[in-house]
Amino acid sequence: MGGPDDRALKLYDEHAKTCAPDDFWGQVKRTVNGKPVDDAQIDMIVDCVRRGLALTSKDVILDLCCGNGALTDRLFDACSGGLGVDSSPHLIEIAQSNFSRPPARRYVVGEVSEFAASATDCSIFTKAVCYGSFKYLNNDTALRLLQHLQARFARIDLIFIGNNADKALAKDFFYEGAYRPGVENAHDSFLGMWRSEDEFSALAAQCGWKAHFHRMPPAFYAARFCYDVVLTRAALGTA
C-alpha cells in the first residue's frame, strides 16, 4: 500500500481539480459548511506548529503531504525554508506556481514513504511536519515513513503530526445512524483513518519515536475530534 494503486493518493488530486485555482483552503478541504476557514483559524495552526517544533531561523523543514503549499509557505516564513512533498501532481503544480522560491522553498511530487526511503539530501532537514494528512497513510505506510525518518534523517529530532482524528471520538462524530462499522479504518476516505492516542504511541514506539499529545484550543474548528502529536527521538529501550 502507499503504492500507485492506493486510492488515498488520488483523493485530493481529483478534488482539487474541482476547485478554483486560488481557492487554496478549499483545495485541501480546510472548510466549514463548504466555506474556507478564516485567517484566524490558519493563524492558530501556524502558531501551534511553530511552537510545537520550536522553529527558528536555523531550521530547514520537510513538509510531508504538503498539499498546495499554502500552509507550508507560512511555516517556511518561520525558518530557513525547506521542501514540501505531496503525491498530487495538481497540488504541487499550484505550490510551484504560487509559493516556490528555489533554492530555499521547494516542492516536489512524491509519495512520502517512498520519498523518505530514497531522498539523497536527508541531512539538510532539521524538523518535519505532516499536517492534516497522516490519517491518509495506512499503518504499513505510516510505519515505513517513521522508520525511514528515524534511520535516514539523522538531524530531524522533532516531527509535528497535526490534525489526527481521535478514534475514541469517532462514533460521536457521525450523525445518528450514519456511523458504519470499520469506517474509522478507511485511510482512503476523505475522513481518513482514526487512531487512538494509544495506537499512535504504539506506532511511533515501533519506529523509535516518542509521542507527545496536544489539543488545539476550543476555538479551533476541528478541536473537538482531533489531536496533534509531536514526536521526539526515544532513548533506546524507552520508546
Ligand X SMILES: C[S@@+](CC[C@H](N)C(=O)[O-])C[C@H]1O[C@@H](n2cnc3c(N)ncnc32)[C@H](O)[C@@H]1O
Residue with cell 521547494: 106
Name the residue among 202, 201, 116, 112 with its Cα closest to residue 151. 116
Q: What contacts 90, CB < 8 A, 6 or more positions away? A: 13, 16, 17
Q: Is 216 in the site for ligand X (CB under 6 A)?
A: no
Task: For the segment 46-65, give every residue that binds ligand X (CB under 6 A).
Answer: 65
Residue 166 Cα distances to 70, 103, 117, 198, angstroms: 25, 37, 28, 10
- Closest to ligand X by CB, 62 vs 66, is 66
| Strand pairing category for 209-214 and 31-32 | unpaired
| Strand pairing category for 61-64 and 209-214 | unpaired
Q: Are 208 and 233 in contact (CB under 8 A)?
A: yes
Q: Is 107 in the site for ligand X (CB under 6 A)?
A: no
Q: Minimum Å distance from CB 58 to ligand X? A: 23
Q: Is 134 in the site for ligand X (CB under 6 A)?
A: no
Cell of 142: 505510516
Stretch of 73-81, 131-139, 153-161, 230-238 lying at the interface with ligand X (CB under 6 A):
131-139
Q: Is 136 in the site for ligand X (CB under 6 A)?
A: yes
Q: Minimum Å distance from CB 75 to ligand X? A: 10
Cell of 196: 487512538
Q: Minimum Å distance from CB 237 to ligand X? A: 30
Q: Is 41 in the site for ligand X (CB under 6 A)?
A: no
- Closest to ligand X by CB, 13 vs 239, is 13
Contact string 75-94 vs ligand X (x = CB under 6 A):
-----------xxx--x---
Site size toward ligand X, by CB under 6 A: 22
Stretch of 100-108, 129-137, 169-177, 212-220 lying at the interface with ligand X (CB under 6 A):
129-137
- Closest to ligand X by CB, 26 vs 208, is 26
Q: Is 67 in the site for ligand X (CB under 6 A)?
A: yes
Helix axes 8-16, 89-98, angle to 10 degrees: 50
Q: Could you give the CA distance from residue 69 to residue 92 in angstroms, rounded to a whole number?
A: 8
Name the residue among 144, 118, 131, 207 with its Cα closest to residue 6. 144
> Which residues are bridge partners to 92 per DSSP?
none
Q: Is 227 in the site for ligand X (CB under 6 A)?
A: no
Task: For the segment 169-208, give every residue that binds ligand X (CB under 6 A).
Answer: none
Q: Is 212 in the site for ligand X (CB under 6 A)?
A: no
Q: Which positions lie near ligand X, rule CB under 6 A?
A: 2, 8-9, 12, 28-29, 65-67, 71, 86-88, 91, 111-112, 131-133, 136-137, 141
